[in-house]
Structure 1
Amino acid sequence: MSSSLISDFLHRAGGTAIIDGGLATELERHGADLNDPLWSAKCLISIPQSHLIRQVHLDYLENGADIITTASYQATIQGFKEKGFSNEESENMLRRSVEIACEARDLYYERCAACSSGKNADDRILKQRPILIAASVGSYGAYLADGSEYSGNYGDAITLKTLKDFHRRRVQVLADASADLLAFETIPNKIEAHAFAELLEEENIKFQHGFVLTLRWN
C-alpha cells in the first residue's frame, strides 16, 4: 500500500473527502433489528440482512460519501464464536464485511456508467469519483458491549498482551481483505492504542490506517 494513497486520493477528490455516517442508524431505518451484542455486525450473519448493509453503503455513496466504512466495528472472532460459529466462519464474516462494501462501490460505478449513457431511471446525476473502503476495527470495549468503549475502564486484568491477543487475528484478516484503509474506531485508552500500534508493526502491516480516540474531559 503506497504511503501516498491518502494524498493522491485527496488530490483526486479536490482536496477534501466525505466519510459516511452512522451505519447502524441507517440499517435500523431499513428495518434491521440490531438489539444484539454484535450490533450492526449481526447483519453479516444472514444473506438478506447483509443485502441491507450493501444498500446502506450504496445510499451513502449516492449521497456523496467518498469513504465508506465496513460493518465490522463490532465484528470480532470471539463475538461470532459466542454465537456458535467456528473460527473459519467468523473470519469469513469479517472478510464478507469488506466484500459487501466493495460490491456497493462496484454497483455505484455501474450506476454512474448508466447515468452517463442516459439509462438512469430516476434522473439522478451520479459522479464518477475515487472511493475508498475503510475496514472498521472497534475497541475491546465495543466487544464487551457495556459502554467501556467510551470509558476505557477495562479493569486491571486487561493488559497490553491481552488486547494484542484479542485483536491480532481480526486485524490480520481485515488487512488481508480488499479494503483500502484500516480504521481503528472509538479507542478509549492509551494501552489499546499502543496495542494496535504494536500489532501493525509486529505483523508488518503496511497499510494506511487511522485512529478515532475517545476523549474524556475531567
Structure 2
Amino acid sequence: RTLNERIMLLDGAMGTQIQRRRLKPKQFHGEEFKTCKGDLWTCNDILCLTAPAIVEEIHLSYLEAGADIIETNTFNATSVALADYGLQDVAYRLNKAAAEIATKAAKKVSEDSGMQRFVAGAIGSTNRTCSVSPSVENPTFRNITFDELVESYTEQIKGLIDGGVDMLVIETVFDTLNAKAAIYSCLDYFEEIGQDYPLMICGTIVDASGRTLSGQTIGGFYTSVRHANAFAYGINCGLGAAQMRPFLKQLATLGEGYISCYPNAGLPNAMGEYDEGPEEMAEALRDFMERGLVNLIGGCCGTTPEHITAMKRVSQNYKPRCPSPGDKHFKLSGLESLKYKKAVHPFLNIGDRCRTVTDRTFRSLVEQQCLEDVVAIVKNQIKAGAQLIALNFDGGMEASTQMSMYCNLLASDPECCSVPFVIDSTSFDVLEAGLKCTQGKCIANSISLQNGEECMKEDALKITRYGAAVVVLAR
C-alpha cells in the first residue's frame, strides 16, 4: 500500500560505511576466526558474526537517515562466495545472524518513529558466472553449475528467512542465469515452507551499451526473470544515476510492477572512489521522479546515510510511478527480447538444423566435437532469418551431456545466443539439462500426458520455475 502512496527509500552502501570505519583485521577475524587462513578484511559479511554491533550501527544510521527498507549484510554470503575464505560452512549461520541484526535495528526504529521499517535479505550474484566461460580456450567450460548455485542459494535463503527478513532482493545481477538459479531456489523453498515472500530483482548495466556483463539488454533481462512475479524490478550498481536514466526509462515501459533504482554515487574516479555528493545525486534522481519512473530509490557503491537523507527530502515532492498493465504479448529472449505479435508476424521462424536425430551432418559434427562448425551452422540460420534456434541431441546415450555442452558453447557466442533457443527433447532430463544452461527465456519442447496428468503438471511446474515457455502435447 505504501508504494502506491509515496516513493519509498532503500538504504545505501554497506561496504562504503565499513570502509569509513577503518576496521582492523582482528575485527574481521574475531575470536572464532583468528586462526583462519587468508585475509578476511575483504569479507564484509563476516562482520555479522565477528562484529555485529558495527553492522547494527550502520543499519541504524540508514534507518535514521530515512530508509524504509534496509538490506542485510549478506551480498557475498553464499557458500559459493564464502569458499574463497574457507568459510563456506558458516553460510547458513551468517545469513541468519545478519537477518537478526537487521530486524533488530528495524524494529527499534519502527517503534521509536511509529513508522514501519522493513528488512530485505540481500542475495548477490556470487563470484561465479553460470552462463560465461572463464576460459577463452574452452567456451563450453563453466566453473559453477546451475544445481550448485541452487543448493548454495537455498541455504542462504533459509538463513535469511529464519532470521526474520520481510522480503528478498536478488541484486546486482550481471549474469541472468545466476539470477534464474536464485529465483528457482526462492520459488522451490517457498513451496517447501508453504509461504511466499515478496521478491525484488535488480539487474546491473555495466556500460553505455545498455547490457549486463553476460550480454543481455534490459528487455532481454526483464523477459528472462519475469516469471519470478517479483513485486519490483529495477537497476542497481554499475552506473551513476545520470548514466542509468535511459535504461531505467526502458525498464519502466516494460515492467508491470513497481520499479526500483539504486545507482552508485556517480562513476568511480582514478582511485576507484566515488565523488558524487548527496545533493548532486539527489538532483540526478529528481529527474526520475519528475518523469514518474520510480517507486523505490536508494544508493549503491559510494553512497552514505547523507545521500539517503537528501533523496528523502527530494522524493517528498513527487508521487510514485503508477504500475502499468504491461505488455501482454508473448515474449521470449536470448540476449535480446523477442515479442510475438500475431497480427504482424503470424509465424516465428525456427532454425531447425541442429538436430542429431534428423540431420546426419549435424550429428557427425557433434560426435566429432567440431565446435566451430556447429557455431557456423547456428550463425548461418540466424543470418537466413531464424528468430529461434532449435537444439535436439536425442538418439544417443549422452543426450543430456551434449545438450549442456552445446548450450554452453552457443551461450559463449553473442551472435548465436542473441535469439531464444528451443530446447527440444522427448526426455525431460534432457530438457532440464538445456534449461539449466540458458540465461534467456526459451521454449521447452515438449512434455505430454503420456505418463499421466500429475506427472505432466509436475514437469510443467518445474519448467515455469526455470522461466521457460513450454509445448504440451495432448497424448
Task: Name the amino acid aligned to 1:18.
Answer: L
CA deviation digits over 1:100-119, x for unaligned, max 9? 11111233245x2xxxxxxx
CA shift for structure 1 position 78: 4.5
1:121 maps to none
Deviations along 1:79-110, one digit per CA (max 9) or x if unpaired, are 556655583x4322210101111111233245
TM-score normalized with structure 1 length: 0.72
Whole-Å separation in 2 of the counterparts to 1:189 and 1:171: 19
For structure 2, list consecutive stretches of 5 or more residues without a partner in the other structure: 29-38, 135-140, 212-475
Greater relative CO, 1 or 2 (CA 8 Å, sep 6+): 1
Contact 2:40 2:85 in 1 (8 A): no
Q: Which residue of 2 aligns with 1:75?
A: 77
Within 5 A, what are the aligned runs for 1:1-218? 8-11=1-4, 14-32=5-23, 36=40, 39-46=43-50, 49-80=51-82, 83=85, 87=89, 89-109=90-110, 112=112, 127-141=113-127, 153=132, 155=134, 156-157=141-142, 158-203=144-189, 204=191, 206-216=196-206, 217=209
In the alignment, the residues of structure 2 paired with residue 173 and residue 154 of structure 1 have an alpha-carbon distance, to the nearest angstrom, of: 30
Query: Is residue 91–residue 156 contact of structure 2 (8 Å, CA) maintained in 1?
Result: no
Q: Give the number of the structure whose alpha-carbon radius of gyration is greater.
A: 2
| Offset, 1:72 | 0.7
Give the TM-score, by structure 2 length.
0.35
Contact 1:38 1:75 in 2 (8 A): no
Q: Distance in 2 between matches of 1:196 and 1:84?
A: 22
- State the aligned residue count: 184
Structure with the larger strand share: 2
* Two-structure CA RMSD over aligned residues (Å): 2.8
Q: Is the 8 A contact 1:24 1:39 kept in 2?
A: no
- Is the partner of 1:140 in helix, strand or coil? coil
Distance 2:187 2:108 in 1: 35
Displacement of 1:162 in angstroms is 3.1
Query: Does the CA contact (< 8 Å) of 2:70 and 2:118 recur in 1?
Result: yes
The amino acid that maps onto 1:39 is C
- Inter-partner Cα distance in structure 1 for 2:201 and 2:64: 26
For 1:42 and 1:177, locate their aligned partners in 2 and report how far apart those are by CA, in whole Å.
16
Identity of aligned residues (%): 21
1:79 to 1:194, Cα distance in 2 relative to 1, 3 A: closer
CA contact (8 A) 1:183 1:209 kept: yes
Change (3 A) 1:201 1:42: closer
